[in-house]
Structure 1
Amino acid sequence: MAGGNAIRGSRVGAGPMGEAERGDSAPRHRVSYFCAGGHETRPAFALDAQIPESWDCPRCGLPSNTDSENPPPPPKIVPYKTHLAYVKERRSDAEAAAILDEAILALRARRAAGEIIY
């Protein structure tokens, strides 16, 4: 249980932070960005700052630009490919059958020689 004379206060440096203590803020202007999802985002930039051509929409994550009539299209999502899909891109079915036959012959030769294969 806390004593009756405990000091209640705030941390060092706390207090009202007005313009007098912080200094004046830089003059700013807002720029509108439009995404393919129909959202408008208006971040504020300093007047002397370089304005980026594109901005990620905070609502849907799609890229946006300043042209409301022509927002950038959503990026194409490349599906995940398995190892087998990459192999099928490199080899035809005939090449795969030839490689499989070669591997089976090598395995049968090792078994015939008495080699223990797990």
Structure 2
Amino acid sequence: MAGGSAIRGSRVGAGPMGESERGEAAPRVWVSYWCSNGHEVRPSFAKEPDIVVPETWDCPRCGLPSGQDQENPPLAPRNEPYKTHLAYVKERRSEKDGEALLDEALAALRERRGG
């Protein structure tokens, strides 16, 4: 164990940081957002005329989108399930088209094999 009188987690010149050293904080406005699970999040924004407060905010507890209307929070996004290549092919082709393509491919294969 290293000896010495150093205080852990500090460095030379480090001192208490207060508003006297940092300057005054900008005026802030707190906006409440609610998600569909009822969680409330209150981020703060600078109170300046050119700052636009977003309509939605991601909930830090559940990740769902939150809105400023507590009675009507935004709905959770709908996640599409993973589709296989075959599922996409079935969306584009009918059963009849699939059978015609299969027959054509089998005929070409039989012709190459000579039987």
TM band (smaller chain): 0.7 to 0.9
- Residue matched to 1:107: 109
Change (3 A) 1:90 1:57: same
Q: Which has the larger radius of gyration?
A: 1
Match of residue 93, structure 1, among 95, 98, 101? 95
Which whole-Å CA distance do the structure 2 matches of 1:102 and 1:74 have between them?
46
Change (3 A) 1:101 1:21: same
Q: Residue 61 of structure 1: CA displacement?
A: 0.7
Could you list the per-position Cα deviations for residues 1-57 of structure 1 after superposition, in whole angstroms to 9, with x for gaps in the alignment? 65x6x5636424421111111111011121100111111111111111321111011
| Superposition TM-score, scaled by structure 1 size | 0.84
Which whole-Å CA distance do the structure 2 matches of 1:66 and 1:91 have between them?
45
| Superposition TM-score, scaled by structure 2 size | 0.86
Could you list the per-position Cα deviations for residues 60-88 of structure 1 after superposition, in whole angstroms to 9, with x for gaps in the alignment? 11111111111111111111111000100
Code of the residue aligned with 1:55 in structure 2: it is W
Which whole-Å CA distance do the structure 1 matches of 2:97 and 2:18 have between them?
76
Q: Percent identity?
A: 65
- Residue matched to 1:8: 6
Code of the residue aligned with 1:61 in structure 2: it is G
Matches within 5 A, 1:48-63: 48=48, 49-63=51-65
- Residue matched to 1:73: 75
5+ unaligned residues in a row in structure 1: which ranges? 114-118
The aligned length equals 111
